[in-house]
Amino acid sequence: MPFIRKLQRRKVSGGRTASKPPENRQGHTDSPGSALGEDLSTRLDWLKQELKDSSDLIYREFTISSGQRCALIYVRGMIAQDTAQQFIVRSLQRESAQLQDKDIYQFLFEDEALSVSQTTVINDLNQAVEAVLNAGALLLIDGDQRMLTFSISAYPTRGIDEAPNESVIRGSREAFIEDLEKNLTMLRRRLKTKHFKTPAINKGRDTRSAIVIAYLEDVCKPELLKEMKRRLSYIDMDGVLGSAYVEEIIEDNPYTPFPQIQYTERPDVVSAALLEGRIAILVDGSPIALVAPVTLPMLLQSAEDYYQRYIAANWIRWIRYFFVMASLTLPSIYIAVTTFHPEMIPAQLLITIAASREIVPFPALWEAFAMELAFEALREASIRIPKSIGQAVSIIGALIIGTAAVQAGIVSAAMVIIVSLTGIASFIIPHFDLGLAFRLLRFPIMILASMFGLYGLTCGMILIYIHLVNLRSFGVPYLSPIAPLVTEDLGDTFLRAPWWKMHKRPVQLTNNQVRQTVDPRAWIKEKGDLE
């Protein structure tokens, strides 16, 4: 086959690199390339000293037909070694016979002797080290200070599969993986517009993890983008191994149990958020993307809401809201009513509850605490143990513990029912961190209910509401569009309006509010071919 292909990306400026040399840990710039000169052996010795005790580094030395010595350095397992051997080493050895008096780099680029795309020319050995550690192949040529790096990475990655924690019936089955390039490809396939921007920065002194800021330029507010970049610029740590590292650093209030940034593993959810003017953060090596700003109603929405017909979606959404409140207040209501307000319970039901509690030696608060803690332990155990037995352990454990506790007279049957309903209600919350926040707040509210009855429960709910009203996510009120009230955005809060009525984007997120320019159901007014 001919070895003449167009180089897809050349980062060359007059034969010299135009990129800025990297900074070391102390913030100074090292440039040993010019100091070490053009001798291949000297530079190889320096690289071997810098990267010593690395058994996975390969130093492949060879000679081309012009008589010049070359060396190819890469990390075993991180590049396509067959590509490096066939399209770099053998191509150079074969095509260099035509070199004659030409400059080697003029020969490589202008005559297109190599058939490897994404090639970069660098001068600095610090950049060379970084390129090798970033899954690149480094080519050194004796007698020339310039070096070539090739982007031919081929490290193993997990295949694209269905989202395990955000499953839907009618929606997409794709989920993010640990490969940043493939994640960006899934987004690019959905957002085929020139306004989709993905600038990247590297953070972590040792990991040099790539962090991509994804947004739509014509939709996202410039001040929101500027604020996001400002917060990310303050990240200075030894390693960024996942998006959770970034989330804790850039969120507005780190001392609240409520999440102020949404995380998701679904590219369709991220695409929908970008179309509303939000910003997504993707970290190399993490299958979880971050979306900001976020509001509480947004965290109570599921991807399934937008794939089902809007009537069914609204019914499910109202069920979700009801059980969200139940997961927070149901044990507290039971404690308050049975302890302070028994007159609120019908007589027949009160007799049944009193009979079940007759042999229980503990007050209702201790009953609830014991059962809730046991339920939390079972939930955590079912997550940590192997999946093949996790579900069986959680179900059997709950049945055995609940039945044994009732028969032993430790807790009442009514309390087991209340705790079970509360646990089921907490599973309905789409966002795991939000469900965890409600699970944590459930305990102090139970204490207030045991001390002051329904008055304590009411005071606890008011305090939570005041806290939520004061929360912000990148300047956006956490309870928006409910508090403050934004009537234009209520079409996707308590109810989801049908798609043909969603003409505008959220007011507080974007200056470009036009989502649809014409009425999608205007065809009703015209006579069709079937009439």
Strand 476-477 versus strand 472-473 pairing type: antiparallel
Other beta carbons less than 10 A from residue 256's beta carbon? 15
Mean pLDDT, rounded, for 206-233: 94
Cα gap 373→199, rounded to integer Å: 45
Tens of pLDDT, residue by residue over 308-356, are 999 999 999 999 999 999 999 999 999 999 989 988 888 888 888 888 8
The answer to whether residue 23 scores a pLDDT higher than 80 is: no
The domain locations on the chain are 10-150, 180-294, 309-477
pLDDT value of residue 258: 96
Mean pLDDT, rounded, for 24-38: 51
Other beta carbons less than 10 A from residue 160's beta carbon? 16
Question: Averaging pLDDT over each range in 150-159, 393-402, 522-531, which range is the top one?
Answer: 150-159
pLDDT value of residue 118: 74
Q: Which residue has the higher pLDDT, 394 or 125?
A: 125
pLDDT value of residue 11: 35
pLDDT value of residue 28: 39
For residue 119, give the nearest of 6, 5, 3, 9 by alpha carbon.
Answer: 9
pLDDT value of residue 92: 79
Confidence of residue 101 (pLDDT cuts 50, 70, 90): low
Residue 334 vs residues 25, 78, 419: alpha-carbon distances, Å: 58, 59, 10
The answer to whether residue 7 scores a pLDDT higher than 50 is: no
**Contact (CB, 8 A) for 260 and 392:** no
Residue 256 vs residues 126, 197, 229, 260, 439: alpha-carbon distances, Å: 42, 32, 23, 9, 13
Which residue is associated with the tokens 């800021």? 213
**Whole-number average pLDDT of the chain:** 84
- β-bridge partners, 8: none
Q: For 375-497, list the strands marked E by DSSP.
A: 472-473, 476-477
pTM, two decimal places: 0.83
**Contact (CB, 8 A) for 128 and 21:** no
Cα gap 434→260, rounded to integer Å: 10
Q: What are phi and psi of 203, to 5 degrees?
A: -130, 150
Confidence of residue 16 (pLDDT cuts 50, 70, 90): very low
Tens of pLDDT, residue by residue over 298-315, are 999 999 999 999 999 999
Mean pLDDT, rounded, for 220-235: 94
Q: How far is CA 4 from the centre of its chain?
A: 40
- CB within 8 Å of 147: residues ≥ 6 apart: 33, 121, 122, 123, 125, 128, 138, 139, 140, 141
Question: Which DSSP symbol is given to 58?
Answer: E
**Contact (CB, 8 A) for 195 and 188:** no
Confidence of residue 166 (pLDDT cuts 50, 70, 90): confident
The answer to whether residue 474 scores a pLDDT higher than 90 is: yes
For residue 438, give the nearest of 320, 341, 288, 316 by alpha carbon.
Answer: 320
CA torsion 401-403-406-408 (nearest 10°) is -70
For residue 180, give the nearest of 281, 262, 269 by alpha carbon.
Answer: 281
Question: Which DSSP symbol is given to 212?
Answer: E
Mean pLDDT, rounded, for 495-503: 89
Q: Which residue has the higher pLDDT, 300 or 120?
A: 300
Torsion-angle region of 475 (φ positive above 0: left; ψ -120 to 50: alpha; else: beta): left
Cα gap 480→458, rounded to integer Å: 22
Other beta carbons less than 10 A from residue 462's beta carbon? 10
Other beta carbons less than 10 A from residue 416's beta carbon? 20
Q: Long-range contacts: 270-276, Cβ < 8 Å, 24+? A: 270/187, 270/214, 271/187, 271/190, 271/191, 272/306, 274/187, 274/191, 274/196, 274/214, 274/215, 274/216, 274/219, 274/220, 275/191, 275/216, 275/219, 275/505, 275/515, 276/219, 276/505, 276/506, 276/509, 276/510
Q: Which residue has the higher pLDDT, 23 or 324?
A: 324
pLDDT value of residue 87: 78
Burial of 5-41, coded b for 16+ CB within 10 Å and e otherwise, reads eeeeeeebeeeebeeebeeeeeeeeeeebeeeeeebe
